[in-house]
Amino acid sequence: MKLILETTKKNKRIEDLFFIFVLMKKYILIFLLANFFNVTSFLSQGMESDDSFTIELGLPNSFVNKAFKSIMQGLVTVSPYYQYKLKNNLSFGAGLHYTYFAVNEFRVPSKVYGGMHTITGFVKVGHEKFWTDKIGTDFGVKLGYGQTIIATDALKENGVFYNRLNAPYVEPVVALVLVSDVASSFRFTVGYAFYGFSYRPWLIGVDSYLGYDAAELNKLSSFLTVGFGYTHYFNGKKSTSGDWE
């Protein structure tokens, strides 16, 4: 019975990863089509804007590295950034990325309290396009480098105030943009982030592998984020004459 349950859980994780792969491949295909084909029928009512400021708020959900997925519970991710769009809809931006994962004290032998803070600076390259006066899309990749601070009561008991890790950060992101008025919009966002370090239980002060094999612990820390955002356009305007002034 135990073997059947473990096999079922493993198959479920494979199905989840396959779903994510299919989803990302779908958005990448849309991104390529948007770059190579000019859908003129949609542009007649589009909105134009050169530069903007966006803040995104989301809920991270860890994947791949089993120890990271089991022990760390994602609570929040915040990303404020500035973005500039060219006339061909290519966009370039820069900003900050912050996440907080709390230790799930019920997934370790003895309760451990604390969490993992990560802050990175990043640049973003993407494609932002308004298909109508109310709907747009924003596809891109955030690339950065940052610092992770892990602080728990278990570490302090061992005489370690915190563990610090420096690592690169990569996150493909997609967003559905809903325009509120000429100067603002709201967005639904999905991103899949990779941190350039492998999560291991002893980073939080647990002196054990907790049953995870070395190959599993060597996998990169990654997580899926689903969230919402708000964008302010500094010089937004409609591309053709309309109700907005």
Encode pLDDT of 50-101 as tens digits.
789 999 999 999 988 889 999 999 999 999 999 999 999 999 999 999 999 9
Cβ–Cβ contacts within 10 Å for residue 160, how many? Answer: 13
Cβ neighbors of 202 (< 8 A, separation 6 or more) are: 208
Encode pLDDT of 96-151 as tens digits.
999 999 999 888 888 899 999 999 999 999 999 999 989 999 999 999 999 999 99
Read off the DSSP letter of residue 203: G
Residue 159 sits at φ, ψ, to 5 deg, of: 85, 15
Read off the DSSP letter of residue 124: E
Q: Which domains does the chain have, with CATH numbers?
A: 41-236 (2.40.160.20)
Amino acid at 220: L
pTM for the model: 0.76
* DSSP-derived 3-state class of residue 100: strand
